[in-house]
Amino acid sequence: MLSDKLTSTGVADQSDLGQAWPSEDRLKQGPVVVVECYQEIPCNPCETSCPRQAIVVGENINDLPKVDHAKCNGCTLCVARCPGLAIVVVNAAYSQTESTVTIPYEFLPLPEQGSAVEGIDRQGRVCCQARVVRVLNTKAQGKTPLVTLAVPKGKEREVRFLRTAG
């Protein structure tokens, strides 16, 4: 069931997110995919891009992706392949104080590695300061660059976009 908030504003609420979030045990083990895809649409590049069969859509292309977080190693291949830009990879075991979130980011200018940016939540609000750990923009991403942000622990649940200074 899609929440009213999601269907009327485009912003997922807790009831939507609950289905996508990995277990605490899995999060402790390092990078893992979070597929925030809640609506049945005819689409399956997440499934075909995954080398470990961690994401399965199956016979009916309209079915929601089923994610086996245990099989996922957080490789981020699916992140740039999702036409809906609905996939992120979180690493809650990044350090004692920080987690990382890898997001698809199709805007110019691309942030510089090491630079400070604003971490933006699903609603477009600033929710923390973030540091750009990595920018991946090779042919394999097909013009959907991936930006990995280090954020204060816990914020990996909220940060889904970034804003560069100025």
Report the residue from 23, 28, 30, 40 that binds other proteins according to the rule CB under 8 A.
Answer: 40
Report the residue from 30, 58, 124, 154 that binds other proteins according to the rule CB under 8 A.
Answer: 124
Residue 150 and residue 98 in contact, taking contact as beta carbons nearer than 8 Å: yes
Tokens linked to 116:
């400070």
Give the whole-angstrom CA distance, residue 83 versus residue 130. 25
Give the whole-angstrom CA distance, residue 92 versus residue 160. 15
Query: How far, CA to CA in Å, does 149 sit from each of 17, 116, 117, 123, 138?
Result: 20, 9, 9, 18, 18
Smallest gap from Cβ 4 to other proteins, in A, equals 9
- Residue whose CB is less far from other proteins, 23 or 62: 62
Q: How many residues bind other proteins (CB under 8 A)?
A: 42
The residue range among 24-32, 56-64, 94-102, 146-154 that interacts with other proteins, by the rule CB under 8 A, is: 56-64
The residue range among 23-31, 67-75, 129-137, 138-146 that interacts with other proteins, by the rule CB under 8 A, is: 138-146
